[in-house]
Amino acid sequence: MKNIGGREAVLIGFKGGDRNSKIFHLYASSRRNVNTIRGLITAHGELCSEPQGMVEINVYYFSNFFNSNGPSPEEMAPFLDCVQSKVTHQMNQMLCAPFTDHEVKKALFDMHPDKSPRPDGLPATFFQNFWHIVCRDVTSAVLAVLNEKAPLDIWNQTVVTLIPKVPNPLLMK
pLDDT in tens, 89-140: 999 999 999 999 999 999 999 999 988 776 667 889 999 999 999 999 999 9
Confidence band of 8 (pLDDT split at 50, 70, 90): low
Average pLDDT over residues 147-163: 78
Helix (H) or strand (E) holding 63: helix 51-65
| CB distance 70 to 96 below 8 Å | no
